[in-house]
Structure 1
Amino acid sequence: MALITYIGALIAVSAGVPATVDAAGFAARTYSTVGKITEWGETGDQSEDVTETTLAGRTYHANGALDGGSIPFTFLSDGPDAGQAILRTANNTNDEVSVRITDPDGQIIYYHGKVANLRDRARNASTMKGLSGEFRVNSGTVRVG
């Protein structure tokens, strides 16, 4: 398999959650592409490190609860498209949003969660006007392909 870049990856969102947290449930939703995404952070569950130390002086580890974490994202804004509008509307509410990531090699990743902390990007001579925020994952990560 050849190495690829993420150039051409598409991020799409849908207001609400699927009926089932699996490929069929997520695929049944209608998505709007988020235009001019410049970054969508690391995706995937991480497990909590559960530790216990014995009196003999040895620490044991176990994998605990899974957490999709908080994913930073950034997009340029010259007028919101439908996908950006969904993110803006859900910002700092408790409304769930479903995400579909389509990578250039055809792999699709789904999950749902909450949008938080949309803010204007830093203003400097090397930055275009846009917004950054975070996506707080509340479901398992479903990978297709």
Structure 2
Amino acid sequence: MGSQTAAGSSLAISVTSPATADATGYAALTFTDVGQVEKLGSIGASFAKVEFQPLKGAKQKFKGSADYGALQPSMALDSSDAGQAIMQTSADDESQKLYSFRVTYPDGAKRYFGGRNFGMPETADGADSMLTGAPTIEICTKIVKVAAPTT
């Protein structure tokens, strides 16, 4: 499959960590889909830039420490949604526990990672809007990318 829209993408959460930080380890977990997700946000690492300017010669640039990013989904609040309930639990959890997350794209490709939810503020914007939640999931592990299944 070539280019695709984000329509049909999904987010899921697991309260457990994988035995191994690879596709097999994550696939063995039980995930609960998070419902009513409107958008997911950006997924992927970026690196700090380390620079050194010698008195003689060109500026040198290196990759520094990795930041695996933060996923900032937006969702219509649904008190009966099991995935949102786990998401709220992860936001209220003060234990520094890592939760496991799975993003699935429309073509079946998956992104797995461990993260912590730093909060889930709720918004009531106006009479013609939905009540929404906006968690901030800080990604704390390398993202495991699983390609879409081939047909």
Write out per-residue CA displacement over residues 55-100 of structure 1, whole angstroms, 9 at most, x where no aligned residue. Answer: 2363211112221122211111131411111110010522211111
Whether contact under 8 Å (1:97, 1:113) holds in the other structure is: yes
Aligned pairs for 1:1-145 (under 5 A) are 1-56=1-56, 58-92=58-92, 93=94, 94-145=96-147
Whether contact under 8 Å (2:45, 2:69) holds in the other structure is: yes
Name the CA distance, whole Å, in 1 between partners of 2:6 and 2:29: 24
Name the CA distance, whole Å, in 2 between partners of 1:108 and 1:78: 25
Name the CA distance, whole Å, in 1 between partners of 2:105 and 2:97: 26
Q: Which is strand-richer, 1 or 2?
A: 1
**Identity percentage of aligned residues:** 31
How many residues matched? 145
Counterpart AA for 1:144: V
Name the CA distance, whole Å, in 1 between partners of 2:62 and 2:127: 47
Counterpart AA for 1:32: T
Whether contact under 8 Å (1:120, 1:131) holds in the other structure is: yes
Output the TM-score relative to the length of structure 1. 0.92
Name the CA distance, whole Å, in 2 between partners of 1:40 and 1:122: 19
Structure 1 residue runs without a partner (length 5+): none
Whether contact under 8 Å (1:16, 1:95) holds in the other structure is: no
Q: CA deviation at 1:37?
A: 0.5
